[in-house]
Amino acid sequence: MTANPLDFERCYRALESRDQRFDGQFFVTVASTGIYCRPSCPARTPNRINVGFVPTAAAAQRGGFRACRRCVPDAVPGSPRWDHGATVAARAMRLIADGVVDRAGVGGLAATLGYSARQLERILTAEFGAGPLALARAQRATNARVLLTRTTLSMTEIAYAAGFSSVRQFNDTMASVYATSPSALRGSRTSPGSTDQRITLRLPFRKPLHRGWLQHHLGSHAIPGYSTATQRILTLPHGPALADLDIADDHVSLTLRHLDLRDLGTAVNRIRRLLDLDADIAAIDAALSRGPLARLVRVAPGIRVPGTCDAFASLISTMVGQQISVAAARTHLGRLVSELGEPTPWTGDDGPDRRFPAPAAIAESGAGVLRGPRRRIDAIVGVARAVADGDVELHPGVAASQLRVALLARPGIGTWTADYLTMTVAGDPDILLDTDLVVARSAAGLSIDRAGLASAAPWRSYASMHLWRHALLDPPDTSGDVR
């Protein structure tokens, strides 16, 4: 029994409706067949007596259930329970999704969170029905399934790329999770083939999603040499990769090139966080529609809070952009990338080809490259040194409150910068950017006072994005690109 047991009646009604909005929020176990499914599985609704509900795929697998090959329950958006959660369990889940257990083991995960391995095991089992090893195992199985169905790599290459320690472990896990051999699983789906490590994936999300806002954000925050509106370099544990993004009506198409396949899960997780694809957007829009932002939600449903693929790059970009125009910030950041960023193994013919400078590079040489007031340059160089020395933590598992306090303690970082980074790096859904001039003017123009803004809790980050979008994209077009 988990500390937060799922309500059977609510979950069964969702199962009967086959509502895709619940996919990833819980999983359905069917005792009569021994399989587990997503709530929207098209198969006939099983009898109540045979049904159970668990919070994670790992919990289903731990109970001896196999993944349904009809609805592929691991190919769903992530749960908003840990997408935005501030609990230790939620923060741990974000780190597991980022591949920390595969790289540093359970001990490394626990140390990052400041807990013992035994404490963390108890916390995760109580909250999600499985411990860190089981949760990481479920992620490895998902990565392996993607590689099996999207590449022509050999079984041995896939086993080690997905994070398994041996081919035997890979075979045993795939048989346990999918009730079939890896070769049969590969044969059951169409593989486009990939010998140059070019993989195209469809990333699902809960509808609606406002494409125009995400596209505007990606374009306005592009850095010459490092990113564009549709491409960006991912700095991953085993080397850089190039990500191409195409936001469609019902999914995001992600093409990864030059990828070390051991980083597949990490790359996908970071893109999902960048685009806020795991948000329970219907619930958020419904909550905001009951307050003074109702008109904005009607005009532009599905507004997301863009996150980040690289927390350090976001930190430096935000500090560089303080009190100057977006165009000027791009110029400064382009120069920083050009002079201090390491070249990628590929050429500019493919797209952006310089990595964002490492913390140590900016700490050592940033003062000679950055332009502007000396106080701001010193602040940027100082925080880069603090990150390089480990004095400031920037990772998906950092507590939002801890990050905000650490940032405010740094010279040259004010309330707006700390709030914005707490929202984008730590994923805090309840940050009101009321010190932002654009947000404040947008609220004033709509006659929304502080009490009205406060009523948007616990979704004030999304309220801030609605006000931002309204100011930047309306007028001239008040209809928005609503999808």
Catalytic residue among 98, 276, 353, 436: 436
Residue 53 backbone dihedrals phi, psi, to 5 degrees: -130, 135
CA atoms of 426 and 403, how far apart (whole Å): 8
Question: Is residue 349 annotated as part of the catalytic site, yes or no?
Answer: no
Tokens 């919070």 locate to 55
Question: Is residue 436 annotated as part of the catalytic site, yes or no?
Answer: yes
Catalytic residue among 11, 23, 37, 83: 37
Catalytic machinery residues: 37, 436
